[in-house]
Structure 1
Amino acid sequence: MVRIEGLTELSASEILNSDISKSLKKFLDEKKELTPEQINFYHNNGFVKVKDVVTEEYLPELRRIIEAAVLIRKGKDERDLKQKSQYEQSFLQCGYLCWDFPAVKEIVFSKRFAGIVKDLMQAEHIRLWHDQALFKEPGGRITDAHQDCSYWPIHEPQFTSTMWLALVDVPVEKGCLYFYPRTNDPKLREYVDIFRNPHQPEFLKKEEKVFMPLKAGEATFHSGLTFHGAGENKTNQMREAMTIIYIKDGVTFDSSDERNKTHTSCIGLNEGEIINTKYTPILI
């Protein structure tokens, strides 16, 4: 059964039905400055770590909102970890939370987060692709190495980016992310089906992976092309992370795969059309 310390379904509902504080709302609109070195590192390696994406003052409120949404989504699942599928043992995945919970929407639509991606991509405008909380239960297995863009019907994966925000400290033993540097090359493409058929591409077996432990409030940003995964959670505490995926304004719909045609963010689009739906608004 999914449990989050200090929360019941009733208290979670109260949190999600309340307005976020004015101070948090103001913070989420403040710009976070990046250095040229951070931007260059992202482009060269396909990922970058950024400190103080959420500062200590605002993290408790933001964290509680995400925890509440996860509890509402997953709290009625009474299965033990060992009863779940291999994929479900990798993480508790809760997507599109912003469309169900206005408090989460305030976080997901943050100009602070989208502004970081705008600077990293050096784009004129950034759109939302979707959000998802990724919690890993105590004892949760590894998340197999993969490219995010394998699951997205987008012709230009180099113009996609994921923010992975640590809501708690995430050391190596709790299941932090690891990245394969310089795999953000459009020529290095291989679909790894972490749902049904996880495997390691041959070319990755020769590459060194870089583990990226995070303090609460820190985040990594990685290209949809970058191969990455996560270790197992060897602790007795929940690993809590919130992710938001962004796309550069102007990317187009790829309908070449049958599974793409039913993707929530692209319903109603035809092959090659610019992705501009109610689920993919411009954030900044």
Structure 2
Amino acid sequence: MTTLTAPDLADFKAISETQIESFRENGHVLIPGVLNEAEVSHYRDVINSAATKFNTEKRKLEDRDTYGKAFLQITNLWEVDDNVKAYALAKRFGKIAADLLGVENVRIYHDQALYKEPGGGFTPWHQDQYYWPVDTSNTITMWMPLIDIDVDMGMLTFASGSHQAGFVENVPISDESEAMLEKFIQDKGFKVSRAQTMKAGDATWHYGWTLHSAPGNKSTETMREVMTVIFIADGAKVTEPKNKHQEADRQRWMCGLPAGSPLNSPLNPLIL
């Protein structure tokens, strides 16, 4: 594999106390300019190339269920592509994650390219941590568009404050989760909010328990290109899986570590 000369993402980007407080209160925050124009241009090419190579979805959009229509999903590209590895394990991202969570260090859980195709469907309400058998709430997802996007292309949408409710429903991303969690959000009176636009290289950050969704991509020709990286506070332990999805995650992203073990498999390296 040829490794491209990549922009170095080992430097730290300072974030403000206001951003940290907003994140902890609302469960999400948008931080602009995490990557500059040159950096995002380089890594967009790297990620698109790897995602194209390792994408396994061959069905037409109309032949998929709600989950399948929501996005093309290619996971843990850092594991198979050294060029993506420089992005996913970037200290710049890890430091922002640690600062927002208020911890000394974080480990990567996995990365995930989420491409919403032109005409792609909505992403139902869900909690990321439904899938993760870990004993901490100090978990965070970075969601970064690789192109400029607006609300009509599938902007991430949050139920502010919902992270404080913890595990809500034992249900995966589906039409069922959409209906159940929409009712929960209305009953609890959580404010639903989203950015109207994001520049390539901006990033939203949200807790693993923060309820979120996304509308469909109304564009007729532009793919919504997004790269995500999930981080978990160092010191977390593996828990007994609560559903088949957590068991699948335990086997795949934790290398089968037994419940009670520190989350420190070869696929969960320290970032800082």
Task: Kindly provide the CA deviation profile for residues 190-210 of structure 1, in whole angstroms up to 9, marking residues without a partner as x.
Answer: 233215733332321243310
Aligned to 2:254: 266
Distance (whole Å) between structure 1 residues aligned to residue 248 and residue 207 of structure 2 = 23
The question of whether the paired residues in 2 share the 8 Å contact of 1:161 and 1:247 is answered with: yes
The question of whether the paired residues in 2 share the 8 Å contact of 1:261 and 1:267 is answered with: no
User: Secondary structure at 1:180's aligned position in 2?
Assistant: strand
Task: Kindly provide the CA deviation profile for residues 130-176 of structure 1, in whole angstroms up to 9, marking residues without a partner as x.
Answer: 000000000111000111010111121x2100000110112100001
The question of whether the paired residues in 2 share the 8 Å contact of 1:147 and 1:191 is answered with: no
2:207 corresponds to which of 223, 239, 255: 223
The question of whether the paired residues in 1 share the 8 Å contact of 2:95 and 2:105 is answered with: no
Aligned to 2:229: 244
Map residues 196-215 of structure 1 onto 2, 5 A cutoff.
Answer: 197-198=176-177, 199-201=179-181, 202-205=183-186, 206-212=189-195, 213-215=197-199
Give the deviation of 1:226 after TM superposition: 0.4
Distance (whole Å) between structure 2 residues aligned to residue 275 and residue 244 of structure 1 = 16
User: What's the TM-score, normalizing by structure 1?
Assistant: 0.88
The question of whether the paired residues in 2 share the 8 Å contact of 1:108 and 1:244 is answered with: yes
The question of whether the paired residues in 2 share the 8 Å contact of 1:125 and 1:283 is answered with: yes
Relative to 1, partners in 2 of residues 1:187 and 1:167: Cα closer, same or farther, differing over 3 Å? closer
Map residues 40-55 of structure 1 onto 2, 5 A cutoff.
Answer: 40-55=21-36
Aligned to 1:151: 131
What value does the CA root-mean-square deviation take over the aligned residues?
A: 1.6
Distance (whole Å) between structure 2 residues aligned to residue 182 and residue 254 of structure 1 = 25
Aligned to 1:12: none
The question of whether the paired residues in 2 share the 8 Å contact of 1:139 and 1:234 is answered with: yes
Give the deviation of 1:269 after TM superposition: 1.9
Aligned to 2:104: 124
**AA in 1 matched with 2:198:** L
Relative to 1, partners in 2 of residues 1:191 and 1:268: Cα closer, same or farther, differing over 3 Å? closer
**AA in 1 matched with 2:145:** A
Aligned to 1:32: 13
Aligned to 2:85: 105
The question of whether the paired residues in 2 share the 8 Å contact of 1:251 and 1:275 is answered with: yes
The question of whether the paired residues in 2 share the 8 Å contact of 1:146 and 1:191 is answered with: no
Bigger Cα displacement from structure 2, 176-185 vs 82-91: 82-91
Give the deviation of 1:274 after TM superposition: 1.3
The question of whether the paired residues in 2 share the 8 Å contact of 1:114 and 1:126 is answered with: yes
The question of whether the paired residues in 2 share the 8 Å contact of 1:127 and 1:282 is answered with: yes
User: Secondary structure at 1:243's aligned position in 2?
Assistant: strand
Distance (whole Å) between structure 2 residues aligned to residue 30 and residue 49 of structure 1 = 20
Q: Does 1:174 align with 2:153?
A: yes
Relative to 1, partners in 2 of residues 1:167 and 1:121: Cα closer, same or farther, differing over 3 Å? same
Give the deviation of 1:186 after TM superposition: 4.2
User: What's the TM-score, normalizing by structure 2?
Assistant: 0.91
> Deviation above 4 Å: which 4+ runs of structure 1?
none
Give the deviation of 1:82 after TM superposition: 0.6
User: Secondary structure at 2:194's aligned position in 1?
Assistant: strand
Distance (whole Å) between structure 2 residues aligned to residue 188 and residue 153 of structure 1 = 12
User: Secondary structure at 1:72's aligned position in 2?
Assistant: helix
**AA in 2 matched with 1:69:** A
1:60 corresponds to which of 35, 41, 54: 41
Pairs aligned (count): 263
> Share of identical aligned residues, percent?
33
